[in-house]
């Protein structure tokens, strides 16, 4: 069963606990610059949106890598960067249309989300459940239930945009 991170921006408070947990899990230090998840801040609107690798089915980062340092784990679908193969050319960072592959100047390699091999630190650290780790086939289920209930009550469906699966 493949799983994905589901992000509900309406629940995000911008606390950045997800960023801190990620950097600590991956690099053993609290440093948001080394996080594989980022919280985009929209100051004018007072909104925050966590965002990380979407694990694209046809990953441009993987296709662009000249040394095949990015592979797909067959069981999880996660795109993995192999440090022993990565030469730090950054072609994958350019190829990613979402900007979720980043260069780590300390190691000279690229970094991206690997879903913490099934136990995402960002999800565990999120105090508002803005980030959840769900069966990929059920990622829109909660939103569908909300819309169905509102429709059944005769109300026009409203509320925040649907959560985004990553």
**Domains, the chain, ranges and CATH?**
1-53+113-166 (3.30.70.20), 57-112 (3.30.70.20)
Which of these, 132, 162, 136, 130, lies nearest to 49 by C-alpha position? Answer: 130
Q: Kindly state the average pLDDT of the residues 4-16.
A: 95
pLDDT in tens, 35-72: 999 999 999 999 999 999 999 989 999 999 999 999 99
CB 142 within 8 A of CB 11: no
Look up the pTM and report it. Answer: 0.81
> What percent of the chain has pLDDT above 70?
85
Residue 144 has pLDDT above 70, yes or no: no
d(C-alpha 22, C-alpha 113), whole Å: 9
Residue 34 has pLDDT above 80, yes or no: yes
d(C-alpha 7, C-alpha 49), whole Å: 8
1 confidence band (pLDDT: 50, 70, 90): confident
pLDDT at 152: 72
Residue 119 has pLDDT above 90, yes or no: yes
């Amino acid at each position: 069963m493949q799983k994905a991170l589901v992000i509900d921006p309406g629940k995000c408070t911008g606390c950045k606990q997800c960023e801190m947990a990620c950097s600590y899990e991956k690099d053993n230090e609290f440093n948001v610059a080394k996080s594989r998840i980022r919280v985009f801040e929209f100051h004018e609107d007072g909104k925050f949106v966590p965002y990380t690798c979407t694990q694209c089915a046809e990953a441009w980062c993987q296709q662009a890598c000249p040394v095949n340092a990015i592979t797909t784990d067959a069981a999880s679908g996660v795109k993995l960067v192999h440090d022993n193969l990565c030469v730090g050319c950054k072609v994958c960072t350019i190829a990613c249309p979402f900007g979720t592959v980043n260069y780590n100047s300390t190691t000279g390699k690229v970094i991206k989300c690997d879903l913490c091999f099934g136990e995402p630190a960002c999800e565990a650290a999120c105090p508002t459940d803005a980030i959840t780790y769900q069966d990929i086939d059920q990622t829109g289920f909660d939103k569908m239930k909300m819309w169905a209930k509102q429709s059944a009550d005769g109300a026009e469906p409203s509320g925040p945009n649907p959560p985004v699966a990553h």
